[in-house]
Amino acid sequence: MKRWYGKGLILLVLVTSCDLIRMKDKPEDVEGQEPIARVYDQYLYAGDLEGIASSEMTPEDSATRAQNFIDSWIRKQLLIHEASENIQFNEADIERKILDYRYSLMGYEYQTYYINENLNTEVSEDEIKAYYDENVDNFLLKQNIIRCKYVKLPVTAPRPERVSSWLKSTKTEDFEELNSYCLSFANAYQLDDSVWMEFDEVIKNSPMAEIPNKVQFLRNNRYFETGDDQFRYFLKIEEYKISDNVSPLEFVKDDIRNIILNKRKVTLAEQLEEKVYNEASENEQFEIFK
């Protein structure tokens, strides 16, 4: 297949405004423009590529975006042509579906606007706790989780034995020493043991990831050290929960907040539909002819 486009032309036609694809039956339909692609009797012009790349993109990225767009256009036109050759379409039905989609899209856009304008995004701790208590069976863990302190230390770091001592200590001054040491020498660390984390996420890229029975490991270890050629790993487990048990509230708090917000969005959407319908009914703005 002959191609009409090259990188220079692709870059030339990129601007920041957005437009719909216009398909023309003949090149002369667009005055002063040469076609950049053709599929049977449908033509694509430079102006049809307006808005597909932003001014912040590099020339290379812009050219790639344009070429991908043109290739996609060609594939879609070929499929449309193939469909028209093999299926007898009901043009009226197609038009109805297009109109239905248009109206649905317009309604969705207004619904989204209405929700964004009216949604109360404040979710109290009491609301979260109440939802958790009422639906606790829905919050079973899908993985093992832990509250812990964790340090990944290069083998070249000085006096690593102090890390072990600080991790096991409950003194505030020792925690401050550990935090300062980690800032200076650690490759990775987690010292906030009030946060629940997935156990597999904590130990990935360490020798502990190869532990064959992680449940048994959690039950038998509160402190663990290991190493490889490059790093030493220190793990102090404060608490753990095994998969298939009820999740702690703190671990699912963000999920519950999102659930509550989504329920509010659904309610607002339903209220909007009823509001529009009832107002139109009261003002006799629609009627059904029998």
pLDDT tens by residue, 35-71:
899 999 999 998 888 888 777 888 898 889 999 999 9
Helix and strand totals (H; E) in the chain: 9, 7
**Alpha carbon 121 to chain centroid distance?**
19
Question: For residue 3, what pLDDT is reported?
Answer: 45
Pairwise CA distance, residues 167 & 156, whole Å: 19
Shared-domain flag, residues 119 and 237: no
In a shared domain, residues 130 and 181? no
Given a cut of 80, whether residue 11 has pLDDT beyond it is no
* Cβ atoms of 266 and 187 closer than 8 Å: no
Q: Mind listing the pLDDT tens digit for each residue in 63-110? A: 899 999 999 999 999 999 999 899 888 889 989 999 999 999 999 999
Mean pLDDT of the chain: 88
The verdict on residue 65 lying in a domain is yes
Output 30 or 162, whichever has higher pLDDT: 162
- Tell me the residue ranges of DSSP E strands in 16-116: 35-39, 42-45
Based on the domain organization, do 204 and 266 belong to the same domain? no
Which burial class, exposed, middle or buried, applies to 45 when counting CB atoms under 10 A from its CB (0-12, 13-18, 19+)?
buried
- The more confident residue out of 240 and 49 is 240
Regarding whether 147 and 277 lie in a shared domain, the answer is no
Give the pLDDT confidence score for residue 8 in this predicted structure. 38
Q: What is the secondary structure of 159-188 as a DSSP string?
A: -THHHHHHHH---HHHHHHHHHHHHHH-SE
pLDDT at residue 116 above 70?
yes
Domain boundary, last residue among 225, 241, 257: 241
Residues 166 and 233 in one domain: yes
Domain carrying residue 113: 97-138+248-281
CA distance 181 to 146: 23
Query: Are residues 164 and 41 part of one domain?
Result: no
Does residue 177 sit in the same domain as residue 267?
A: no
For the chain, the domain total comes to 3
Determine which helix (DSSP H) or strand (DSSP E) holds 130, and give its type and residue range. helix 125-134
Q: Are residues 109 and 152 in the same domain?
A: no
Residue 235, pLDDT above cutoff 60 = yes
Q: CA 43, CA 37: separation in Å to the nearest integer? A: 6
Residue 123's nearest CA partner among 114, 131, 111 is 131
